[in-house]
Chains A and B, each alone.
Chain A
Amino acid sequence: MSNILALIEISNHGDLEDSTPSLLAAAAKLGTPVAVVVTAPGAGAALVDHLGRLGAAQVYLAQGEQVGTFLVTPQVDALAAAVLAFDPGAILTVNSVEGRDVAARLAARIDAGLVIDAVDLRFEGTNVVATHSVFGGAYTVESTVEGGPTIVTVRQGAIEGQADAVAPVVTTASLGSETGRSAIIDEVIDNVVVSARPGLRGATKVVSGGRGLGSQEKFELVERLADALGAAVGASRAAVDAGFVSQASQVGQTGVTVSPQLYVALGISGAIQHRAGMQTAKTIVAINKDADAPIFDIADFGIVGDVFTVVPQLIEAIESRSKK
């Protein structure tokens, strides 16, 4: 089995990001997972056990003072060094802002082919074949890389399962201090709200609200239903533009693409741009006053009615069941 490099994302507080299990599961589908961890000196060793439990057979700890100050280039340098050390069959990053940046610069540096936003991966002979969900799931596309190394960004949470726990072999490397090519991080504004709710990306249930909620205060109804279902909170662009919620919650073509087991659309008309971000959900429920709203065309269960009467009744029904 060939080595598969997986660039692990580390949170502002030094922990493994939620994307890690799925990324290592993706690596394990293809070969032997090698977790590449880029930290300030001494900060990576504490993560080794956890990575082993998630199936990383090898951990490559690249450490340098510039990590946290230089934007993206330390991760690129680390992966480039790991490529030489492990001769991998593929290099995986998370399809996040940072993961894509790293993959992009690395591909340009080592003349690799870059495959973006894979939702599944497999080997065919010596080629990695990636599956993509394109135009909001309207098409399924398979792609591969010809004539050079393969780098893949993997959609967060798309690949399920977990590799068997192992005791990893650890390699430690120091990052050189080279770089006139890097932007500089001046400040980290850690504005991720501490919330018991699951994050939108990779959530198994999502409740989204649209302009039909009417105001920022009334948008709270979306949050109440999300909490009753244990779901993440999303929104249409109209609701974001109206200031009901922050842009981080936007589902759709210019926001987050989700593919949950259950998607509940409240007061969302279902413009094509919104549908592009959610129509691969397994089950779609829509509640809207307008019987002609296009969201009903793709809903498995549609209710023509007022969200402010239907949703409280639904929450009550859910809560009375959970008490039984």
Chain B
Amino acid sequence: MKIVVLMKQVPDTYGERILDPSTGLVDRSGSDAVIDEIDERALEVALSYKDAHKDVEVVVVSMGSTAVTVGLRKGLAMGADSAVHVLDSALAGADVGWTSTVLAAALTTTGFDLVIAGNESTDGGGGVVPAMVAERLGVPHVTYLESVQISDDGVVGERSTGRGKLRVHAALPAVISITERLPEARFPKFKGIMSAKKKPFTVASLGDLGIDPAVTFAGVGRSVVLQTTKRPARASGKKIVDEGNAGVELADFLVAGHLL
């Protein structure tokens, strides 16, 4: 079985995340770039299945700038067998439509039985790319899984929606996305780090994937940013130290603001 894990590079949430006001795009130079933690959990799902099934091949795929290399190497060090990096300057500012088209093309190239992604990234947070990829590949998808059992012919799991849980299954090939309810990723071991250097690492351009933007994306709607405004920082207001009467003072504050 071949499992492909989709990974995305995001600005580290422990730093300040910045949008470039002239382009509306994430300023990736303004903060440390890391592989989104949720994608490492997705990789962990694949690797723990591989631990028990030695014939499983795990491929990590990412689309992004050269900075993605570090994250993909980490994926290899954790135990993935090979990596594919889609790198093309024409993809700067790609929306979810373009991104899902390119990832679907990359998955067609690698081949797959199961695709695993994080449910939503910490930067864009759209949570739509996995289902879009599934539609483009003509396969079932199950997103937002809180538990996953993989078998030779299918995947079973539970997903949370706003109104309760669903137990669902899909036949393979399929695309799934997982939530942070799934276990944290393992740390790369020294041996893994050393062997990662010898594992296949493919860098693919759009041309390599058979995509000519002028042809592939003609007539396809694309979301674009018109304007970006930084909201003024929220100022702190009144701050008091409780001297036995703070609860009553707070009630007065709420009354004054018509909040009771």
B127 at the interface (CB under 8 A from A): yes
Least CB distance, A315 to chain B, in whole angstroms: 8
Asked whether, in the complex, the Cβ of A100 is within 8 Å of the Cβ of B127, the reply is: yes
A146 at the interface (CB under 8 A from B): yes
Report which of B164, B247, B248, B251 forms a contact with A190, defined as CB distance below 8 A. B164
B136 at the interface (CB under 8 A from A): yes
Most buried by B among A111, A135, A185, A305: A135
Asked whether, in the complex, the Cβ of A143 is within 8 Å of the Cβ of B226, the reply is: yes
With a cutoff of 8 Å between Cβ atoms, the chain A residues found around residue B125 in the complex are 116-117
Interface residues of B in 207-245 (CB under 8 A from A): 219-231, 234, 236-242, 245
With a cutoff of 8 Å between Cβ atoms, the chain A residues found around residue B130 in the complex are 104
C-alpha spacing A96/B166, complex, angstroms: 15
A105-B134, A107-B132 are known contacts. Are A305 and B246 too (CB-CB below 8 A)? yes
B42 at the interface (CB under 8 A from A): no
C-alpha spacing A284/B238, complex, angstroms: 11
Interface residues of A in 151-198 (CB under 8 A from B): 153, 180-192
Asked whether, in the complex, the Cβ of A141 is within 8 Å of the Cβ of B164, the reply is: no
Asked whether, in the complex, the Cβ of A188 is within 8 Å of the Cβ of B140, the reply is: no
Asked whether, in the complex, the Cβ of B236 is within 8 Å of the Cβ of A142, the reply is: no
Report which of B144, B223, B246, B259 forms a contact with A113, defined as CB distance below 8 A. B223
A114-B128, A134-B19, A253-B13 are known contacts. Are A302 and B140 too (CB-CB below 8 A)? no
Asked whether, in the complex, the Cβ of B161 is within 8 Å of the Cβ of A185, the reply is: no
Asked whether, in the complex, the Cβ of A186 is within 8 Å of the Cβ of B226, the reply is: no
Report which of A146, A191, A312 forms a contact with B222, defined as CB distance below 8 A. A146
Nearest A-chain residue to B227, judged by Cβ: A142
A98-B161, A116-B96 are known contacts. Are A138 and B230 too (CB-CB below 8 A)? yes
Interface string of B127-171 (1 = CB under 8 A from A): 111111111101111111000000000001011111111111110
Asked whether, in the complex, the Cβ of A104 is within 8 Å of the Cβ of B164, the reply is: no
B116 at the interface (CB under 8 A from A): no
B74 at the interface (CB under 8 A from A): no
With a cutoff of 8 Å between Cβ atoms, the chain B residues found around residue A97 in the complex are 127, 143-144, 159-162
Asked whether, in the complex, the Cβ of B17 is within 8 Å of the Cβ of A262, the reply is: no
C-alpha spacing A229/B253, complex, angstroms: 14
Least CB distance, B131 to chain A, in whole angstroms: 4
With a cutoff of 8 Å between Cβ atoms, the chain A residues found around residue B128 in the complex are 100-101, 103-104, 107, 114, 116, 153
B7 at the interface (CB under 8 A from A): no
Nearest A-chain residue to B19, judged by Cβ: A139
B contacts with A: majority SS? mixed
With a cutoff of 8 Å between Cβ atoms, the chain B residues found around residue A12 in the complex are 163-164
A301 at the interface (CB under 8 A from B): yes
Report which of B17, B168, B250, B259 forms a contact with A184, defined as CB distance below 8 A. B168
Number of interface residues of B (CB under 8 A): 82
B95 at the interface (CB under 8 A from A): yes
A139-B231, A143-B226 are known contacts. Are A108 and B97 too (CB-CB below 8 A)? yes
Nearest A-chain residue to B130, judged by Cβ: A104
A114-B95, A310-B247, A313-B246 are known contacts. Are A105 and B132 too (CB-CB below 8 A)? yes
Report which of B129, B160, B170, B259 forms a contact with A104, defined as CB distance below 8 A. B129
Interface residues of A in 291-324 (CB under 8 A from B): 291, 296-306, 309-318, 321
Nearest B-chain residue to A102, judged by Cβ: B131
Most buried by A among B124, B163, B236, B246: B163
Asked whether, in the complex, the Cβ of A283 is within 8 Å of the Cβ of B250, the reply is: no
B260 at the interface (CB under 8 A from A): yes
A58 at the interface (CB under 8 A from B): no
Asked whether, in the complex, the Cβ of B260 is within 8 Å of the Cβ of A229, the reply is: yes
Asked whether, in the complex, the Cβ of B230 is within 8 Å of the Cβ of A144, the reply is: no
Nearest A-chain residue to B158, judged by Cβ: A189
Least CB distance, B28 to chain A, in whole angstroms: 14
Asked whether, in the complex, the Cβ of A145 is within 8 Å of the Cβ of B223, the reply is: yes
Given contacts A114-B223, A253-B122, A299-B236, 16 further A-B contacts (CB under 8 A): A103-B128, A104-B131, A105-B134, A107-B97, A107-B132, A108-B136, A113-B222, A117-B126, A180-B140, A181-B139, A187-B166, A297-B236, A302-B238, A303-B246, A304-B241, A313-B246
Closest 5 CB pairs of A and B: A148-B221, A313-B247, A305-B242, A113-B221, A317-B251
